[in-house]
Amino acid sequence: MATPTDTANAPVSIVSAKEEFLRRFPLEETTLQEQMSRLKNGTLQELDQASLVAQCQDTISRMSNDVKDASSYLPAYDQRTYSTAIKNLREKLQDIRTASAPKRKFAFKKPVSQRESTSCPNDGVKGSTIRGQDFSRNRPTATTSSQLHEATVTSVAEPRAPDPSDSQAITISSISYNRYILAPSSIHHGASAVIKDIHHSVIDLSTPTNLAGTFKTMTIRSVSESLLLCGSVTGAVHITDVDHGTLVINSRQVRIHKCRDCVIYLRCASRPIIEDCRDIRFAPLPVVYDAESSEFTDSANFWDQVDDFRWLKAEQSPNWSILDPDDDVAVKSEAWHEITVGMAANADLDDVLKAARVIN
């Protein structure tokens, strides 16, 4: 490993990066080992297991990149040691995935007509498909025909009667030039949520979490030019590939990957983490949403204490900042009330996006 002499002769910036690497690597390795122990126990539901596996893979990939970046200040022996540790973690995760993979059973596929006849009615019961209301504007046909999709909320389970003890995922996907408000009857306490492939839209999940409980986890990916009112999440929120969006989140953990030009209004019970991001601005959770959920009111709030895993220097990361209340993209407190009322009153989609400063 590195010697005190090596550190004493190194430039200050390298020392800071090296100390940060040496501090963080064992912490992440310990966290990974704990997460893989949970996976190995086999007590997680299928969706939670898949989410945790993806989280472990992301962490291992980031740690591997950190080792490569550290080659400029780590001795060759240390590089080999850390690379071996990464290799062992990858192999362990793969072994766990292989051991926990369900055995495939042979079964004839139902004909299409038969499968369609068994689908549930559109009543909001888990396992059904709930179609969103169309609020598209009068745009040129060339745009709307290619960009306007059906708003759907689907469960990952086969259609069946709801079981209060069974947490299922709500997936909201493929929505463009539209708005969607998730009904409280669509979820129960402890459900997970996935929001993906959203463009120029408003997604409001805040009401169900106030009335029916909180989401357990949330995954957000591939979102552009949209407002997401995410409600309350007892676990982690994983955000990937969001471009020019505004997000309102109340959660225990937040990890943000590959996002650009975003404003995040946040209450977070742990330090938010960003990676491979730029132009991310953070602001405290608006009172209108903070007061509605008491899940973390007694917890510390680290909304402004962000860790950038791609910035190891002691100086402030250029990839994120605190949103200035006087900034053009900042939403005033009274405007949040108008946004909430406007969503409930079916206000024009672009009017809501303008009020949230997503579009001009």
Report DSSP letters for 112-123, one per residue: HHHHHHTPPPSS
Going from the C-alpha of 209 to that of each of 18, 105, 186, the distances in angstroms are: 42, 37, 11
Please report, for the chain, the start and end positions of each structural domain, with discontinuous segments joined by +.
4-100, 127-355
Whether the pLDDT of residue 130 is over 60: the answer is no
Distance of alpha carbon 180 from alpha carbon 178, whole angstroms: 7
How far is residue 348's CA from residue 179's CA, in Å, rounded to a whole number?
9
**Strand pairing of 260-268 and 218-224?**
unpaired
User: Is residue 16 pLDDT above 80, yes or no?
Assistant: no
Separation between Cα atoms, residue 32 and residue 102, nearest integer Å: 23
Instruction: Give the C-alpha separation, 201 to 135, whole Å.
Output: 10
Alpha carbons 176 and 159: distance in angstroms, whole number? 26
- The values of phi and psi at residue 260, to 5°, are -140, 140
Give the confidence band of 174 by pLDDT, cuts at 50, 70, 90.
very high
Of 128 and 259, which is predicted with more confidence? 259
> C-alpha dihedral over 227, 136, 219, 164, to 10 degrees?
110
Contacts of 170 by beta carbon, 8 Å cutoff, 6+ apart: 153, 154, 155, 182, 186, 187, 191, 192, 193, 194
Q: How confident is the model at residue 75 (pLDDT cuts 50, 70, 90)?
A: confident
Q: What is the mean pLDDT of the chain?
A: 76
What residues does 218 pair with on adjacent strands? 193, 237
Q: Is the pLDDT of residue 36 over 60?
A: yes
Rounded to whole angstroms, the Cα distance separating 268 from 253 reads 6
Phi and psi of 137, rounded to 5°? Answer: -85, 170
- Which of the following CATH numbers is that of domain 127-355: 3.90.950.10, 3.40.50.300, 2.160.20.70, 3.20.20.70? 2.160.20.70
pTM, entire model: 0.58
Residue 29: closest CA among 81, 77, 98: 81
**Residue 191 vs residue 44, higher pLDDT:** 191
Strand partners, 169: 192
Sign for the CA dihedral angle at 27, 31, 36, 37 comes to positive
DSSP H or E segment with residue 236: strand 227-257
Residue 7 has pLDDT above 50, yes or no: no
Q: 255-288, pLDDT tens digit by residue?
A: 999 999 999 999 999 999 999 999 999 999 998 8
Residue indicated by tokens 């064992």: 26
pLDDT at 19 over 70: yes
**Domain 4-100, CATH among 3.40.50.2300, 1.10.357.10, 1.25.40.20, 1.20.58.1250:** 1.20.58.1250
The CA distance from 115 to 189, in Å, is 29
Taking residues 116-130, what's their average pLDDT? 34
State the distance between the two ends of the chain, measured CA to CA, in whole angstroms: 54
- CA–CA gap between residue 329 and residue 283 (Å, rounded): 11
Distance CA 237, CA 99 (A): 27
Summarize the confidence of residues 79-103 as an average pLDDT: 83
